[in-house]
Chain A
Amino acid sequence: MASSQPFPSGPPRPRPGFSPNPNPNPNPSAAADAIQNLQIGRPPPPSAVPGVAAAPPFTSPASRPGPPPAATSLSRPGHPPFASRPPPSSAPITSNGPPAFGLGAPRFPPPPPASQQMPPVSGPATIRAASPSAAPPQAQVARSFPGSPPSAHPPSSQPFMGPPPSSQPFMSPQLSSQPLMGPLSSRPFGGPPSSQPFGGPPSSRPFGGPPSSQPFGGPSSQPFGGLPASQPFSGLPASQPFSGLPASQPFSGPPASQPFSGPPASQPYTAPPMPFPGPPTSSSPFGTPSWQSQAQQGVPSMVSMQAPPRMFGMPPHTPGQTMASVPPVMGHSPLAGHQVSTPSKIDPNQIPRPVPSTSVVLFETRQGNQANIPPPATSDFIVKDNGNCSPRLMRCTMNQIPCTGDLLSTSSMPLALMVQPFALPHPSEEPIQVVDFGESGPLRCSRCKGYVNPFMRFVDQGRHFTCNLCGFTNETPRDYYCNLGPDGRRRDADERPELCRGTVEFVATKEYMVRDPMPAVFFFIIDVTMNAIQTGATAAACTAVSQALAELPEGPRTMVGVATFDSSIHFYNLKRASQQPLMLIVPDIQDVYTPLHTDLIVQLTECRQNLEQLLDSIPNMFENNRVTESAFGAAIKAGFLAMKPTGGKLLVFQSVLPSVGIGSLSSREAEGRTNISSGDKEAHKLLQPADKTLKTMAIEFAEYQVCVDIFLTTQTFVDIASISVVPRTTGGQVYYYYPFSAVSDTAKLYNDLRWNISRPQGFEAVMRVRCSQGLQVQEYSGNFCKRIPTDIDLPAIDCDKTIMVTFKHDDKFQEGSECGFQCALLYTTVYGQRRIRIINLSLPCTSMLSNLFRSADLDTQFACFLKQAANGVPTSPLSQVRDQITNLCINILHSYRKYCATVSSSGQLILPEALKLLPLYTLALVKSIGLRNDGRLDDRSYWISHVASLSISLAIPLVYPRMISIHDLASKEEDGSLLSATIPLSSEHINEDGIYLLENGEDGLIYVANMVNSDILQQLFGVSSADGIPTQLVLQQFDNDLSKKLNDVVNEIRRQRCSYLRLRLCRKGDPSGMFFFPYMVEDKAPGGLSYVEFLVHVHRQIQTKMA
């Protein structure tokens, strides 16, 4: 089975991101012991070991100019796959050596050596110029940084790497045969997790922070009370890792420090105007990393900078590269033996668990004309786009495409793409380049209309080109003609981004516009019913909007408007220079209209002052409002009508169930409760929209490019199932603050809004995914509106939104051919430029089932399952959905067991290495809010709507949250594992004297056990007993180390998740504590299995099937 592996880059990928357990074994031998312990199911460990030996390490690195990505990763010593494979002796990194090593060179946060600093300054061009073979070791060090050309590394030049990089891929074979279980099985050499050097402290993440580093920084001590945006980090000690970071966050406005310790003077903010407040490059609509812009020196299009002379279709330079001959070994971990009846033999500490990755890896999307398998979505990596797109933008559930549909169905795995077209890049990545084809527009295949991409093959001296999607041969337009080089590539291929980059943006011509690109319109609608006023929701919304105004894109194209509503709708004419604003009330909520033709939506520059005043006075104005009815439907309709001529974003703050006017709803939850007999059977119906009114409205909104985001600041049932239809159809999203507390949620509301309007986004978008003949798109899923089968309409699309695209076979692929995927997104930037973003991915086709398993992408697949489950919840009973999900997991494992596992012992539960966490995630999913029986209707509906557009990197924590202890933060600092020392989600790991932080990207639960040292409480919360902590928690920063660390940790999480965690206090022995335990997914719960039990269950099921 190993022989068929066609390319070197497909090592089994143990999940790098997590440490297996909090008490990692200090040495390999201990790890080995642990492995032994794991062999509950009559393990034949030795038999597996041979595999290791079988791995033919590929020892001629020097001859390979394009080593597999792992090989280049000098700089990512901690890359787990790497770590796990080399024999302990040869891999200092993986063995105990790492800690020191990890702290030494490659970590990002500490100021890199001078040579490392070089790349940002000199820019990619200079680096690329380096001939691949000539890169000096020093340069390699530098290569771990953004601009470094990975292809330039001869592996031999890696001085620090014990194991030749090439040896990496071959580690997988060993693993494949390993009978070992659990995470450790993937690292036979027993590198204890703690020894992983890669754990770059979270603070090193240079990107992806929520736009405002501000809120997370100082604010805790002075929460948002008019905190000037210009001093976001004022509260942070300068020594904190992220004090330097804001600058690296492309979207955070003011803070200007360079993430990589670049001197402030070199800050990007001095650069030409950028679409987003932060980043300066004009070539990319979204903040590109600052250093890049420096390198570009403001050159708008990167065409001239096409870097490395490496070509695409080119075969590997050297014959030595026959990586393909490497036996494609499957990694898998047999877990449980026959004796499932004795689960006690399973050591819960040894079963597979996510391991946090702590270091940044460099990932080249293609090497040697082969697609590389991307690192896990949840890990930290820097992408070098050399043909395939960044996996952030688009990744597939499997990195090899089955040649036939039968093969796919045998595997039971889903074939789907997760497309996140505006995903935030790592700041060190090269920005997406903009290509202007002038009048004629981008070159396209005349048959399938696919856009020109690196995989289109130019033939006939360049006079023709063959489309990689439909196979049609087109004539090359005269002005695009270029001779082919001796390698068969166009000579200009490397100068043209569209021919050498997986992702490019084309400037759209008139042909792509039905009208002038729309301005950036933001319309805020605020609930002023009595309830909203009294809970402080109105005030919070007004404050948030008022402060967020500063984050709106500058310039005359930014338009804003405000309306409020109770049982009628109040518009405000903001364009009255000298006068106070004029309130225009639309009382007809059955059949709404706009009260003015103009002046409801005004240029921000014209009305900023008026608007701020108005927002100030709205809470007072309605102070005595006694209206309890809410005309939400009418309000959004009215807002829509006001925006109809332009389109734009409608941001709605709502507090109570819409009760009057069009689209009014009834309190179905209460009705369902009183009607229990029928309720049980039909319970899922309550998760469907109450009627079609809102859907119809939403479709109309979408048609006119209006995107609706809804902020639910509520304390009651609001029927999210019905309401969420509007955001889902218009490309928006629901924010849910339940139960709303003016004390603790105001900050989150502001930050959510701020991120919402300042994150990279596009308007009036249309997206289509094309693929090579043989496959066809089956379905799109996400937040959009679909009017014709092939395209989806996205009134707005932003960096957080992911669209799932599933495929089915309509033909066969040839073994060895490649299947191309191309996502084309036509959109308008916030600055009014019309662009086409083209995202290309070309994956090899295989007819080997084992290849499919080896190249399976767990994170993507699981995100796919999650979305499928969410789609299923409203239409089928919960138990059925849970069964389906469990069966999916069982079927996949069964398929693997049946067709791929070499181990004959049927008594073992054998997990494919790539999917070894699938059971755990499946279990967690079954226990998640959306699939639990005991959830509130709205919680479940919110979960469903949240999941629909969720990115892969957030899908995982949503289901399997991250938990860390915080009472001992001070001691963790030393080993740099503030965030990496995650605790399994099992109550066994909760100590009575501990305080824990559990976060899933949305909520942050702070669990305070009942015997916590009062000193620690005093330090963290300013109170001496747990009872004294206010339930509506506002995390403050006190003047002590522990408190600072906690704030740092929370801020880091916020930045990673692009979300301002909703902190919630859970006290043991208090009702609030009950929120916490359902997250302990490994525990046995009423109606739910424990992790171990679940594994046993899965194993038994597989056995049944095998028999």
Chain B
Amino acid sequence: MAADLAGGGGGGAAAADPDGPDGVRMTWNAWPRSKVEASKCVIPVAACIAPIRASPSLLVLPYAPLRCKPPCAAVLNPFARVDFAARIWICPICFSRNHFPPHYAAISETNVPGELYPQCTTVEYAPPPHDAAAAAAAAAAAVPAPIFLFVLDTCLIEEELGFVKSAMRRALGLLPDHALVGLVTFGTQVHLHELGFSDLSKIYVFRGTKEISKEQILDQLGLFSAGIRPGAAGPPGYPKAGLQANGLHPSGSVNRFLLPASDCEYTLNALLDELQTDQWPVEAGNRSRRCTGVALSVAAGLLGACMPGTGARIIALVGGPCTEGPGMIVSKDLSEPVRSHKDLDKDAAPHFHKAVKFYDNLAKQLVNQGHVLDLFASALDQVGVAEMKVAVERTGGLVVLAESFGHPVFKDSFKRIFEDGEQSLGLSFNGTLEINCSKDIKIQGAIGPCTSLEKKGALCADTVIGQGNTTSWRMCGLDRSTCLTVFFDISPSERSSQPGIPNPQLYIQFLTNYQNPEGQMRLRVTTITRKWVDGSANTEELVEGFDQETAAVVLARYISLKMEMEEEFDATRWLDRSLIRLCSRFGDYRKDDPASFTLHPNFSIFPQFMFNLRRSQFVQVFNNSPDETAYFRMLLNRESITNSVVMIQPSLLSYSFNSPPAPALLDVASISADHILLLDAYFSVVIFHGMTIAQWRNMGYQNQPEHQAFAQLLQAPQDDAQIIIRDRFPVPRLVICDQHGSQARFLLAKLNPSATYNSAHEVAPGSDVIFTDDVSLQVFCEHLQRLAVQS
């Protein structure tokens, strides 16, 4: 059976579009009717939604959506029952009857609008601007400009600064001409560069040690935005805001600092040429004084002078820990190391909570303004991602953690965010997600790059997971791969439990308002339906509706959250228990007979996921720094199910002369002297040459014409790796290594230790062993079987 479980590795992700046309995946596709049943299911009922996933078949409707009467306000969808004669539609969610408005007069069975096509459960509305004036204005303003405010760390060594500069130059070259650009550099102090001043370079300098409020910043910069804001606030008013942002401003406006890229490219390049590393002296035995916190405050404050609803991102390039002022994570004294997980556990990180609180407030400010914080951290030591996580995640920002600004992980990732076309990340702004759902379903909250808008209502559950207490979330920044996990609670009300109208289906509608990369406001509506499963007897239906990949990912996200939120939380134990309970509930066995245990194929690889999750960086945090953990978790929370599964359980491909590349077991046994392995662990991609292959390569056979095949064999994993790397953001680290080489640890760490030094005597030649005391998958499964069948 273990082999069975293992054999399914990677198979789950094979489907063409695992997320389906709607981009929604659920842990359970058939929902238990009662709360008790739900809790017996062990795995929470949750949906993972990629709100603006690119979809070729997406129908875009050039008019405003038709909404149900308040408070439901659900949008007309294919599940609505339509009475064509009466020109009436019944909302599937609240069962209200709505009249079609006059412009739907032509509706008939043969002439239905796009949103009613049964296959179009996901449509996007691109309504024209509300009124003619705005339309004209929008036209005049052409495309509204996104804002890129760069925040550069200058407490770097010359070489790193050089990398930053070249990355910046490349980025400037890629920026659309109309994009507004601003520049903040910081070290001991924060320098805000006024780009619109022609006489000489003008810099506003803020001290790094003092916390400074948005109002102070605006006041000190002579910016008073409030007065000139147009009436319309928020995303719907965007066109007007865009006009304002592009129109002629008085000199007191923020446009002194934010200029169209085409206007300030020369200035910026000149500035970059002259940019020096921080000139303040660093005493021996001290870290350089770096005031990341104030720099970000200043950036956020500056953007506060922009129109609300202007798409703006702060792109922070940070090369070390914040050592001064608010947001400080470690003191200047080098003898004090940056906090580790152990320190956090023991509450021995003196700056941690203060810093988190600071970034939390920063996040609130940015969310209020609708602006995004992207973090590019490149340093050998930690820079405080763990503290800044909250600000990045709440605003839906991007995060990249690399060792150096010269490393491809940074360089290529950084470039990606400015690329458009095929490679575009589809960076969008000002997203809000609203959820409407059938009665009896309550929303507990969401995990992922979003912030609760605290829009409470009947649909909110009492218990909260992640960003809760709301049916609406803001995603200041989102992109095509952004994914949120929404947790549901099943709590049937008195009335619905009456046998009166047994509605077999439940409906959930996701409404995502956002400003697409072109600057237009869109509303994407996804309506899904699932069926209720009645009674405890009907496990068969539940089992059929189980999505083990989603379940594994949701569990990983859930447990990460719990690890962060709950003190002394024993994740491994919790996972084990859950798994045992799940297996007890859904396994097929005779009591107390482990050998009789079997699992339905829908569950079959779940134990293996759990095995790998237990060993993963998400649970075994002590192998990583808090920064890395925060980084991994942020990506886990925002990536699609498929990608997240790879993070939990990497995929392994084996290349050899005799066969086409084939998935291999994620097991040390897959190592063979004449194979090349390609491991995709999401954050890193490892090409592992068996010993023989490595020797041949070292002898240069691939360069000899008669060994073309060998050259091709060597090349194949490289090409495949490039395919993986090209599509992924952040760009994974590519590790090319040989068997027994030092870099081989990147592979070995991920493999099932089926052969350890304890079992070394039976190892086949050319294979490998892992020096570990960890249990192997077999041992794990044996225990699981034994415990699951216990009465």
Contacts and interface: CB of A to CB of B under 8 A. Distances in A.
Interface of A: 567-568, 571, 576, 579-589, 591, 593, 595-599, 614, 617, 620-621, 624, 627
Contacts of B222: 567-568, 627
A582 B199 contact: no
The 6 closest A-B pairs by CB, nearest first: A587-B220, A595-B205, A583-B202, A597-B280, A585-B204, A580-B200
B189 A593 contact: yes
A568 B199 contact: no
Contacts of A579: 201, 274
Nearest to A589: B220
Contact of B203 (A582, A598, A614, A617): A582
Nearest to A614: B200
Contacts of B199: 580, 617, 620-621
Contacts of A571: 205
B28 interface: no
A532 B220 CA distance: 21
Given A568-B220, A588-B212, A583 B203 contact: yes
Contacts of A624: 251
B586 interface: no
B200 A588 contact: no
A614 B205 CA distance: 19
A561 B212 CA distance: 28
**Which of B205, B206, B216, B280 has its CB near the most chain A CB atoms (within 10 A)?**
B205
B281 interface: yes
Contacts of B194: 585
A597 B205 contact: no
B279 A597 contact: yes
B750 to A, nearest CB: 48
5 contacts: A580-B199, A582-B202, A582-B203, A584-B205, A588-B210
B204 A587 contact: yes
A597 B281 contact: yes
Interface in B201-244: 201-207, 210, 212, 216, 220-222
Interface of B: 188-189, 191, 194, 197, 199-207, 210, 212, 216, 220-222, 251, 274, 279-281
B496 to A, nearest CB: 60
B201 A583 contact: yes
A581 B212 CA distance: 28
Contact of A598 (B205, B207, B279): B279
Given A588-B207, A595-B191, 7 more contacts: A582-B203, A588-B210, A589-B220, A591-B210, A595-B189, A617-B199, A617-B200
A582 B220 contact: no
Nearest to B212: A588
Contacts of B189: 593, 595
A479 B604 CA distance: 104
Nearest to B189: A595
Contacts of B279: 596-599
Nearest to A581: B200
A582 B279 CA distance: 14
Nearest to B207: A593
Given A576-B274, A579-B274, A586 B200 contact: no
A571 B203 CA distance: 9
B726 to A, nearest CB: 40
Contact of A585 (B205, B210, B280): B205
A568 B210 CA distance: 17
Nearest to B190: A595
A189 B725 CA distance: 114
Nearest to B217: A587
Contacts of A591: 207, 210
Contacts of B201: 579-580, 582-583
Contacts of B197: 583
A576 B221 CA distance: 25
**Which of A588, A589, A620 has its CB near the most chain B CB atoms (within 10 A)?**
A588
Contacts of B280: 597
Contacts of B203: 582-585, 595
Nearest to B199: A621
Contacts of A627: 222
A207 B221 CA distance: 52
A624 B199 CA distance: 13
B540 to A, nearest CB: 69
Nearest to B274: A579
A587 B207 contact: no
A582 B189 CA distance: 16
B365 to A, nearest CB: 19
Contact of A621 (B200, B210, B221): B200
A587 B206 contact: yes
Contacts of A576: 274
Nearest to A578: B274
Contacts of B274: 576, 579, 582
A906 B177 CA distance: 100
B219 to A, nearest CB: 8
A569 to B, nearest CB: 9
A598 B277 CA distance: 13
A596 B274 CA distance: 15
Nearest to B216: A588
B256 to A, nearest CB: 11
A617 B202 CA distance: 14
Nearest to A590: B216
A457 to B, nearest CB: 54
A588 B207 CA distance: 8
A597 B205 CA distance: 12
A583 B206 CA distance: 13
Contact of B202 (A567, A585, A620): A585
A587 B221 contact: yes
Contact of A588 (B191, B206, B251): B206
A584 B190 CA distance: 11
Contacts of A596: 205, 279
Contacts of B204: 568, 585-587
A1058 to B, nearest CB: 37
Contacts of B207: 588, 591, 593
A627 B206 CA distance: 20
A627 B280 CA distance: 31
Contacts of A620: 199
A722 B280 CA distance: 35
A617 B200 CA distance: 10
Contacts of B251: 624
Contacts of B220: 568, 587-589
Nearest to A588: B220
A302 B555 CA distance: 93
Contacts of A599: 279
Contacts of A567: 222
A584 B202 CA distance: 6
A602 to B, nearest CB: 13
A579 B201 CA distance: 10
Nearest to A569: B205
A312 B197 CA distance: 71
A626 to B, nearest CB: 8
Contacts of A583: 197, 200-203
A715 to B, nearest CB: 25
Contacts of A589: 220
**Which of A579, A587, A593, A621 has its CB near the most chain B CB atoms (within 10 A)?**
A587
A476 B191 CA distance: 62
B397 to A, nearest CB: 27
**Which of A580, A584, A598, A624 has its CB near the most chain B CB atoms (within 10 A)?**
A584
Nearest to A597: B280
A664 B502 CA distance: 76
Contacts of A580: 199-201
B781 to A, nearest CB: 63
A117 B531 CA distance: 122
A581 B203 CA distance: 11
A582 B200 contact: yes
A613 to B, nearest CB: 10
Nearest to B209: A593
Contacts of B212: 588
A634 to B, nearest CB: 11
